[in-house]
Structure 1
């Protein structure tokens, strides 16, 4: 599906990023794996690169270094130490900082990706990771009996990402520059049993997803099979939002 394509994956060492990298390689794509730290990887299908997505300079230099990329997947998830505080306890400065480093960094990425496309005039597909909580209000009942919450910054950022994708797709106004979102349901990552059970009751039976469960949709949007799919948000949640 991705044979001959070079895909830049930002946040490549994260929970989702690692699986996306492996899936792209299985589809015969070459990966540029970028994160704030880098490990040397012995493979002909992967190039590692250090990049801080919150640095506009890093983003610009990275895209300049790889002019022949065919796609970009943003799996990066930068946040400050106060992230996840109860909504009524979040300070305005902390909220603003998290929105800036998450949504703001994605804006910088899209801006430079658009410039890159206009300069290279080569088809480019960008995939952003939004969330079910970018399209619906949180279901706070599933957090009862746990210390978990749905961060208010998360909801603000994920909804903003969906509109940013639409904005840039329309602004560039070219079928060869595609920007789409994937909105997964919850990703299992060691959450407590009461939460997992409550979450599963809201789905059609599968419950929480694994990071692998969303990789097929991401690689589809990167591929030529998804030509003319633009400005779209693809929801993968086993019916959670029904």
Structure 2
């Protein structure tokens, strides 16, 4: 492995590749030598993310997939193996939401609760079942799961009064906290389950990433952060890259919290 290109020669699967963090991670991973399988259920977002790579797009392969569908995940794993070979690193980076994601907890629809849990937790379980099992059989590999600060601490409800994103009132829904807390539990379980077989399983927990939230929210959120600002997607992707590199070869079952110190209070 080249220290200058820590993913050189590695086949990497990145889910949620068309999202806010995923788009940035796509470019970072390819620039650092990865052959990258980009996965997202939105084909348009995948195409845009791949085209943004410019001359580097030859190293990236867009594979649309609804990761909540077990059959599609099985087909994805089979196709990746047949077309590109064994996977060295899996990034479970999906962050999905529904139409009523910001409904009050007391009235949150059960069907949407189950849907959000499926997108944010079950997708990772299914991907780990297939790609992680292949890694364990080979005796090597790494998995990095993207969590949320609200999977490890409760949200400060006070900062959401008047908060908006793209003109829509926002809050921090309970189902998202539950899903990401569950993903942290899965991370620790698999770290002990597959660690003896040479597979490392870790997590990155992003703080709030600026992506167009209104000034009211940005100011209130930033006031809660010792560093006084929201995160940049690049800062999250850098931590993801590190955990997949050989520089993290003895790191297993850990969670790098990239939140500017918010959860330190």
TM-score by length of 1: 0.93
Show the counterpart of 2:142.
125
- Aligned match for 1:159, one of 161, 181, 189: 181
Would you say how many aligned residue pairs link Structure 1 and Structure 2?
241
Structure 1 residue matching 2:14: 3-state secondary structure: strand
Gaps of 5+ in 1: none
Show the counterpart of 1:216.
238
Report the Cα distance in structure 1 between the residues aligned to 2:231 and 2:197, rounded to whole angstroms.
Answer: 32
- Alignment check: 8 A CA contact 1:175 1:228 kept: no
CA RMSD of aligned residues (A): 1.7
Comparing 138-147 with 182-191, which one deviates more in the overlay?
A: 138-147
Q: Are positions 1:191 and 2:201 aligned together?
A: no
Show the counterpart of 2:40.
35
Instruction: Point out the structure with the larger helix share.
Output: 2
Structure 2 residue matching 1:179: 3-state secondary structure: strand
Report the Cα distance in structure 2 between the residues aligned to 1:162 and 1:86, rounded to whole angstroms.
Answer: 24
Show the counterpart of 1:226.
248
Q: Are positions 1:177 and 2:199 aligned together?
A: yes
- Alignment check: 8 A CA contact 2:136 2:198 kept: no
- Alignment check: 8 A CA contact 2:190 2:201 kept: yes
Report the Cα distance in structure 1 between the residues aligned to 2:80 and 2:228, rounded to whole angstroms.
Answer: 39
Q: Are positions 1:86 and 2:104 aligned together?
A: yes
Report the Cα distance in structure 2 between the residues aligned to 1:227 and 1:77, rounded to whole angstroms.
Answer: 27
Report the Cα distance in structure 2 between the residues aligned to 1:7 and 1:17, rounded to whole angstroms.
Answer: 13
Show the counterpart of 2:125.
107
- Alignment check: 8 A CA contact 2:222 2:230 kept: yes
Comparing 150-159 with 82-91, which one deviates more in the overlay?
A: 82-91
Tell me by how many angstroms 1:139 deviates.
0.7
TM-score by length of 2: 0.85
Gaps of 5+ in 2: 1-5, 164-168
Show the counterpart of 1:18.
23
Show the counterpart of 1:58.
72
1:39-68 Cα deviation digits (max 9, x unpaired):
274622111112111111222222222332
Tell me by how many angstroms 1:224 deviates.
0.8
Report the Cα distance in structure 1 between the residues aligned to 2:219 and 2:192, rounded to whole angstroms.
Answer: 41
- Aligned match for 1:134, one of 132, 141, 151: 151
Report the Cα distance in structure 2 between the residues aligned to 1:31 and 1:108, rounded to whole angstroms.
Answer: 19
